[in-house]
Structure 1
Amino acid sequence: MKNYQLKRLSDQPILQTSDVKPSIDGFDVLGAFNPGACIVNNEVILLLRVAEAPGARPGFVKVPLLEEQNGVPTLIIKEFPEPEEDFDPRVVTIEGKAYLTSLSHLRLARSKDGIHFTVDEKPFLFPARMDESYGIEDARITFLDGKYWITYTAVSEHGPGVGLAVTTDFLDVERIGMILPPPNKDVALFPEKINGKYVLFHRPMVSDIGRPSIWLAESIDGEHWGNNRYLFGGRGANNPRFAWEGGKIGGGPEPMLTDEGWLLCYHGADETHAYSLALALLDKTDPTSILDRSDLPLLSPELPWEREGFFPNVVFSNGWVRWPEGSDKAGQIWVYYGAADDGVGLAELVQS
């Protein structure tokens, strides 16, 4: 993939946490990042992941989550004494049970020029099911069969799984439900059927054996998935040259069809949890066939706002757009990326 480069279109974030209002009284927005992206009626649509948390009280940890009350998933706030030992401010374990200290939802943002966005004040998708009780995160958007398929990470006490929702206009949305159970994430559908079947990539999470890797699955209806196959994993475990993806990898936005094949943007993380972006090229008719792959990352955290934030040293993309014919940017590929779990940056994918 030496003929591709990612060039930042701005040395500042195009969206920041401060641009987003809390959706719940008494909550603060901790981050607005990792947007899914598409173009609808000559307008760029972003689906931001917005992480919110209730105001803190000294000496205590507050946990927002859904709890079933009279059969209805209901937002509640639990409060615990702060652990005496050091703990991750994002995840806290109380009496052997892990909780997230923030609750994420998906928020809509719109722009005519792809740079200056108006952010809705209310969520587009808010946790509403018990398998979303810890939040919904990191949407990918694929236009297929006349509708937009939105895949997202649905988090609960049982781990992260993959939810699916569909919309035709980003006004009304239908939840389909969980299509891949925990532990799994980083899922997007291909924007065309391949050999008559729907195809998606996903990233199962592993424990004692194996390392995180990207897989493919097929479906005849878009809801029930099978024929799972390993696609590729990180190469850094035994090769210092690829240390930038030696910790973990995962797929990014929906694959994009080019004359050469399917472009797949993915992220790699090193052993220090610094995230970078790279590309793979897959065969048009057999996406299990890898034609090319980045030797070096195309984008790594370098600017202060990419290196410092809620989760430092991260550039992470799950949204890109190719501007349509007739626009003044026709053919350009713009990549929207989360930076340090705190804001959104913008880069252009160009061929050299």
Structure 2
Amino acid sequence: MSIKATRTGIVLRPDPTRVLFRPFELGSTTRTLKIIARVGSMTDEEAEQKLDEVIREFGGRHYKLERFLLQRFEQIKTQLLTDEPLTEDRKLLLGAYFTMEYSLESAALFNPSMIWHPDQTNVPPGYKRFILSLRATGEGHVSSISFRMGYIDDTGKIVLRKPSRYVTSPDMVPNHVFNRAIFERKLYELRLENSIQEKMMAGLGDAFSLSELEAQIKRVSAQFRYNAEYETIASGLLALAKSNYEVHFDDDQSLDERCIFPNSPNETNGIEDARFVQFTDDDGQITYYATYTAYNGRVTFPQLLETKDFTHFSVSTLNGAEVSNKGMALFPRKVNGKYAMISRQDGENIYLMYSDDLYFWQTKDILLKPTYNWEYVQLGNCGSPIETEAGWLVLSHGVGPMRKYAIGAFLLDLNDPCKVIGRTVEPILSPDENEREGYVPNVVYSCGALINNDELIIPYAMADHASSFATVNVKELLAELTGQTKSENVPNEVTA
């Protein structure tokens, strides 16, 4: 018998009307100066009329637009030729000329990950709220993290809440503090430790901010102006600092109004495929982590997002000899006293990783190799392992002929996850005729599922364009996985 998922018929499509404001970067100081001069040539009456027009046309489309326009003015005011004070209207208008709207999901809304909402107050009996994170892709194929909310009722029906029209990226937390010991360990992993780096770090304390690091690098610059390595080391230190940052949203913003947009040098071309998991520490504290792929247009970087409340987020680089490729997914708790991760470093096989430190991963052991014809090209995970009484349930994706992606599952021993109890011989979900057309044809893909009562709820992407949900009876799936034997050609363990 081969278990198949049941489709719900829900389709979540990209909505081009959901726009946020972004800096409009011209990339030319000369053009910036010309625009400032042209705005400066306007009379007060002309400037007031133009600003009124901007606020009327765009104010209803955004959350706190005027605050952002003033922030943009502060970012470009260094280009002003005099210190003559400007009225607030002039500042707002200049900010508007260097601001643009960005439709964050105009191209696609896909690769969803699903977790239970941390706030279950005032929920009717038998209902549960959830959060759905999605990869939103817009102009320039830049990806960000978008959110939706919904609930599952007492009959198991999935209901998505209509999102707010507003959507806003977070504010950077000023003077984010770095732990020197961790920072230097990351420098070592990046091979950026030498005498120049030691001089740059010498004036910093056990904790320091980005501005302090920038000031210290500037102070020692004269000593190394003729050293060919100076620029490489300096840019490496700053890139590392800017890739470990914090952001926060206003408390009064609804979760579906929040968008995590690329911020660091590693993320210039997108934040991809966040795999969220509710992690319970040994002391019972809960943190929500998401492993994701940062992309700068050339190289992918596995990174980690963490939050307690979905208002304040910390972003960290993942480091270590075995941090590479895509598709790392964290277990929802420590296993035998260590952090554990499912990964795919070689683009083909699934590995198991352990670490004493959440941010450093040095070893891996092969767990699964492509075994069935629908997964001969490559394997990968579809989100974090889910703990059941029978074992760790992991959704996987396999790639077969014509680069067709399908979703399967495997089961790992609870106490020793390197032991594979069973795996599906056939996919539980493959693209049908209604799902195979899109940006990338013939793909179904998920970044994280949930179990609700006796149902496994799988949010999944269709052809890298839109998203939907499917369900599987958990007892039937686990029965198939635990009922498989070696005689059915299902390996209990895979060795390199």
In structure 2, what is the equivalent of residue 195 of structure 1?
Answer: 336
- Residues 62-77 of structure 1 correspond to what in structure 2 (within 5 A)? none
Change (3 A) 1:136 1:26: closer
In structure 1, what is the equivalent of residue 108 of structure 2?
Answer: 31
Deviation of 1:309 after TM superposition, in Å, equals: 0.8
Counterpart residue identity of residue 449, structure 2: W
Aligned partners of 1:107 and 1:119 also within 8 Å? no
Are 1:346 and 2:469 counterparts?
A: yes
In structure 2, what is the equivalent of residue 6 of structure 1?
Answer: 5
Q: Distance in 1 between matches of 2:430 and 2:17?
A: 25
In structure 1, what is the equivalent of residue 301 of structure 2?
Answer: 161
Change (3 A) 1:175 1:118: farther
Change (3 A) 1:155 1:147: same
In structure 1, what is the equivalent of residue 364 of structure 2?
Answer: 228
TM-score normalised by L of structure 2 = 0.54
In structure 1, what is the equivalent of residue 313 of structure 2?
Answer: 173
Are 1:213 and 2:349 counterparts?
A: yes
Deviation of 1:331 after TM superposition, in Å, equals: 4.1
Aligned partners of 2:112 and 2:447 also within 8 Å? yes
Change (3 A) 1:117 1:34: farther
Is the partner of 1:112 in helix, strand or coil?
Answer: strand
Are 1:319 and 2:448 counterparts?
A: yes
Counterpart residue identity of residue 129, structure 1: S
Are 1:140 and 2:275 counterparts?
A: yes
Match for residue 459 of structure 2 among 336, 339, 349: 336
Deviation of 1:247 after TM superposition, in Å, equals: 1.6
In structure 2, what is the equivalent of residue 184 of structure 1?
Answer: 325
Aligned partners of 2:148 and 2:160 also within 8 Å? no
Are 1:307 and 2:436 counterparts?
A: yes
Deviation of 1:17 after TM superposition, in Å, equals: 1.2
Counterpart residue identity of residue 282, structure 1: L
In structure 2, what is the equivalent of residue 293 of structure 1?
Answer: 423
Deviation of 1:169 after TM superposition, in Å, equals: 1.4
TM-score normalised by L of structure 1 = 0.75
Deviation of 1:178 after TM superposition, in Å, equals: 3.4
- Residues 207-286 of structure 1 correspond to what in structure 2 (within 5 A)? 212-235=348-371, 242-286=372-416
Percent same amino acid at aligned positions?
Answer: 29
Superposed CA offset, 1:12-60 (max 9, x none): 41x111376243515571000001110112421011100111xxxxxxx
In structure 1, what is the equivalent of residue 31 of structure 2?
Answer: none
Superposed CA offset, 1:97-125 (max 9, x none): xxxx4100001111123432334623532
Q: Distance in 2 between matches of 1:224 and 1:183?
A: 12
Aligned partners of 2:386 and 2:450 also within 8 Å? no
Aligned partners of 2:16 and 2:106 also within 8 Å? no
Superposed CA offset, 1:111-154 (max 9, x none): 12343233462353211111112111111111112110111111
In structure 1, what is the equivalent of residue 160 of structure 2?
Answer: 116
Superposed CA offset, 1:233-264 (max 9, x none): 212xxxxxx22111221111110111211111
The count of aligned residue pairs is 284
Is the partner of 1:154 in helix, strand or coil?
Answer: strand
Is the partner of 1:47 in helix, strand or coil?
Answer: strand
Counterpart residue identity of residue 33, structure 1: F
In structure 2, what is the equivalent of residue 50 of structure 1?
Answer: 136
Change (3 A) 1:178 1:223: closer
Is the partner of 2:329 in helix, strand or coil?
Answer: strand
Counterpart residue identity of residue 168, structure 2: K
Deviation of 1:157 after TM superposition, in Å, equals: 3.6
Match for residue 151 of structure 1 among 279, 291, 315: 291
Higher RCO, Cα 8 Å, sep 6+: 1
Is the partner of 2:113 in helix, strand or coil?
Answer: strand
Is the partner of 2:318 in helix, strand or coil?
Answer: strand
Match for residue 260 of structure 2 among 104, 120, 125: 125
CA RMSD of aligned residues (A): 2.0
Q: Distance in 2 between matches of 1:246 and 1:122?
A: 42
Change (3 A) 1:261 1:46: same
Deviation of 1:215 after TM superposition, in Å, equals: 0.9
Q: Distance in 2 between matches of 1:195 and 1:149?
A: 19
Is the partner of 2:18 in helix, strand or coil?
Answer: coil
Aligned partners of 1:310 and 1:340 also within 8 Å? yes
In structure 1, what is the equivalent of residue 483 of structure 2?
Answer: none
Q: Distance in 2 between matches of 1:174 and 1:6?
A: 35
Aligned partners of 1:20 and 1:32 also within 8 Å? no
Q: Distance in 1 between matches of 2:308 and 2:277?
A: 11
Superposed CA offset, 1:264-308 (max 9, x none): 10001113111100001111111111110111111100141x111
Consecutive unaligned residues in structure 2, runs of 5 or more: 22-100, 120-127, 153-157, 170-258, 477-496
Q: Distance in 1 between matches of 2:162 and 2:400?
A: 34
User: Which entry has the higher C-alpha Rg, 1 or 2?
Assistant: 2
Is the partner of 1:18 in helix, strand or coil?
Answer: coil
Q: Distance in 2 between matches of 1:249 and 1:349?
A: 21
In structure 2, what is the equivalent of residue 106 of structure 1?
Answer: 145
Consecutive unaligned residues in structure 1, runs of 5 or more: 54-100, 207-211, 236-241, 324-329
